[in-house]
Amino acid sequence: MMNVDLQQERASATIDSEDFAQWWAGGKTNLEQRRSLESQFFNDPQFDDVIPASCLSYKERYEHSVARGTQFLHKLRQWFSEKQGKNNVCDLNTLQEFRFLLSGPLGTGLFQQSFPLRLHFSMFVSTLLNQGTEEQQRKWLSRAWHMDGIIGTYAQTELGHGSYIRGLETRADYDAEHEEFILNTPNLTAYKWWPGGLGQTANMVVVLGQLYVGEKHCGLQSFLVRIRDEQTHEPILGVDVGDIGPKLGANCVNNGYLGFQNVRIPRDQMLMKNAQVTSDGKFIQSGQPLLLYGTMVFVRVITVRDVMFELLQAGTIATRYSAVRRQSPIEPGKPEPQILDHLTQQAKIFPQLARGVSYRLVADWLWQFYQNVMQTLEKKDSALASDSLAELHAVSCCLKAVATQEASEGIDILRKACGGHGYMASANFDSIYGLATAAYTYEGEYTVLLLQTARFLVRQYVDSLKRKILPGSVTYLRDVSRLVWGKDLVENCVRSLEIASLEQIRLAWQCQKEQRKRGLGVEQSNNLAGRQLVAAATAHAHAFLTRTTVRELRRIVSGLKPSVAGILTQLMELFVLDTFLRQAGQVLRWNSINGRQLRQVEQRFEQLLSKLRPNAVALVDGFDFHDRVLGSTLGAYDGRVYERLMAEARRNPLNQETVNSSFYSHLQPMMRGKL
């Protein structure tokens, strides 16, 4: 039976959640296909949970995720190859499509704490694609794509170094006589540490190590290394491998450690698309060295989409729960309202929904931009390629940083918006938050990535002073006009964020110059200007996110059904106004905005909350998360929150006996003074 409040919400909404769901899924056919695929898995008893996953031990969780992961991949592959037909070869688009099935809603529905085989596709196969020569791809790609004797992962980070990649210590020495590389872990800090699936799952890795040819250091290169025997799965001689242990979240990923002692691999297992070692030991850098970092760029790009889903999962749970939960009369003597009627509750939840929708528009744009840059790189126009790569790196770094930070923060706001019940593991905010906050760190830590973007921004700012043509993402730096507060509030807000970004970049540049004038070198000056540089990259991200959201929505809006267009326009506006208000410190520092104008934004913000209120439940229904994807007692479609909380408590293994054995062994002796 459906909760009556949710029934009422759905009946009185002015948008049709089905229309929204079709747009969200990219069309009716896509939506139907996704639903049919999900039902094949979610209705299959072999994918049911007997015991709540949160009640399993760490080891049991791993074993369960491998058992389920292999069944999942087997079934998904069959479905995917039928769908792809003859096109079932591994290229970038196919990989992204398949990876999305693993890490999007479907994969999340089956693995709330992720699973160890994900890295094989997102990082191992993508590295073979990006960094392998055609010959290497012929040899390895198809096998890897079909997991034919190969389960891979990406081993870059070490115990001692993660952010500063050049500091990695793993060594690969070329032995010309045997045409082999010899891999070594010279000390404890050189142990690989963190790679997902490395502990007990993977049998091959892409390893990043310092290449030495004789005495000559040839920089970091990537190598394809077998670490476990294909048949027995025992570690190869000289390989020391294991799992690093429980973490804050993502506890089914099987993150591992790895050390090498004189492990030999053939010469053709260095990935040689951009750099080669010839059989007689000549090192040739034939492509742009930075392409070695290509896998990281790829994952940063797709992470924006991943955290968008996590934020909206949490948003759906909090919205439905807030429509079911009744507490605290607004007027004395009146019935307790749905907590969603408290304006402050709307102000916690709706901006997160708006942010998620904005990330969706920006993630689509970013993926397109990534593909365009990849095509440019293939054209071998080195100047153009290097400019495009620099812009892609700068944009992807700041978007990944800010999106993961805001999504994690948003998920925690949504968790708190569910009061005490939000803290239950069965509400599932812990898993969702665990994944989102991991993304804040992995694939480039937040501050480290913002500093990368800031370098680019300062350079573009200096170019703007020289009246040079600027890349698309920063053309606004050429516009030095002051803010003119007009009728269009969205434009006022976006423009003031752009001005704040421009001025903050200018300030960061001035700080660097001041330090240089004091006689400090470039690196020290950068270090001392660090806070300003991070503020500049953050301000740029906010300006870019708002401008891109507005532009992308305007580009597509005419093709949408009026009710979908209407709610998306409200959400876009709410996102822009919310960003402006949250960044008010920066905005007011760099723009002349008076109290009346600020109040205008606040009033419109509050008005938008009221406008969205009647459609909130229909909107989150439109994201079309299956109950299994939400995995939450608070967020299920039927709204039977209290029944589910109680049922889940009763399933808890502790409640399977009325008296636990610890009573006889400890509590009773204590009470009888017999300890």
Ligand X SMILES: Cc1cc2nc3c(=O)[nH]c(=O)nc-3n(C[C@H](O)[C@H](O)[C@H](O)COP(=O)(O)OP(=O)(O)OC[C@H]3O[C@@H](n4cnc5c(N)ncnc54)[C@H](O)[C@@H]3O)c2cc1C
Query: Which residues are known binding-site members?
Result: 157, 196
Q: Interior CA angle at 444 toward 438 and 450, to 5°?
A: 115
Residue 438 within binding range of ligand LLIQVSAO, rule CB under 6 A: yes
Nearest CA to 310 out of 122, 104, 121 is that of 104
Tokens encoding 442 = 């992995």
Residue 438 within binding range of ligand X, rule CB under 6 A: yes
Smallest distance, Å, CB 548 to ligand X? 26
Nearest CA to 207 out of 186, 222, 219, 192 is that of 222
Residue 162 within binding range of ligand X, rule CB under 6 A: yes
Residue 436's binding partner among ligand LLIQVSAO, ligand X, none (Cβ under 5 to 8 angstroms by kind) is none
Catalytic-labelled residue, pool 406, 443, 498, 573: 443
3-state secondary structure 447-504: HHHHHHHHHHHHHHHHHHHCCCCCCHHHHHHHCCCCCCCCCCHHHHHHHHHHHHHHHH
Tokens encoding 356 = 């998620």
Q: Which of 67, 89, 248, 290 binds ligand LLIQVSAO (CB under 6 A)?
A: 290
Q: Which of 66, 435, 458, 541 binds ligand LLIQVSAO (CB under 6 A)?
A: 435
In the block, which residue shows the tokens 């009369």? 329
Tokens encoding 252 = 């089914």
Residue 436 within binding range of ligand X, rule CB under 6 A: no
Residue 389 within binding range of ligand LLIQVSAO, rule CB under 6 A: yes
Q: Which of 92, 176, 236, 448 binds ligand X (CB under 6 A)?
A: 448
CA 276 – CA 268 distance, rounded (Å):
9
Residue 410 within binding range of ligand X, rule CB under 6 A: no
Given a contact cutoff of 8 angstroms between Cβ atoms, the answer to whether 242 and 256 are in contact is yes
Residue 251 within binding range of ligand X, rule CB under 6 A: no
Given a contact cutoff of 8 angstroms between Cβ atoms, the answer to whether 307 and 341 are in contact is no
Residue 155's binding partner among ligand LLIQVSAO, ligand X, none (Cβ under 5 to 8 angstroms by kind) is ligand X
455-474 binders of ligand LLIQVSAO (CB under 6 A): 455
Choices 290-298, 363-371, 560-568, 637-645 (CB under 6 A): range interacting with ligand LLIQVSAO: 290-298
Nearest CA to 356 out of 636, 10, 623, 631 is that of 623
Residue 293's binding partner among ligand LLIQVSAO, ligand X, none (Cβ under 5 to 8 angstroms by kind) is ligand LLIQVSAO
Smallest distance, Å, CB 157 to ligand LLIQVSAO? 5
Residue 297's binding partner among ligand X, ligand LLIQVSAO, none (Cβ under 5 to 8 angstroms by kind) is ligand LLIQVSAO
DSSP H/E element including 169:
none
Q: Which of 103, 157, 512, 633 binds ligand X (CB under 6 A)?
A: 157
Q: How many residues does the chain have?
A: 675
Sign of CA dihedral 379, 384, 388, 394: positive
Whether 443 is catalytic? yes
CA 428 – CA 651 distance, rounded (Å):
16
Distances (CA, A) of 498 to 51, 184, 352, 460, 573: 51, 49, 22, 14, 16
Smallest distance, Å, CB 157 to ligand X? 3
Residue 327 within binding range of ligand LLIQVSAO, rule CB under 6 A: no
For the chain, how long is the longest CA-to-CA vector?
90
Residue 154 or 575 with smaller CB distance to ligand LLIQVSAO: 154
Please report, as ranges, the residues that interact with ligand X according to CB under 6 A. 119, 154-157, 162-163, 194-196, 250, 255, 438, 441-445, 447-448, 451
The residues assigned a catalytic role are: 443
Please report, as ranges, the residues that interact with ligand LLIQVSAO according to CB under 6 A. 103, 114, 118-119, 122-123, 154, 156-157, 162-166, 196, 250, 253, 290, 293, 296-297, 299, 389, 393, 435, 438, 442-444, 448, 452, 455
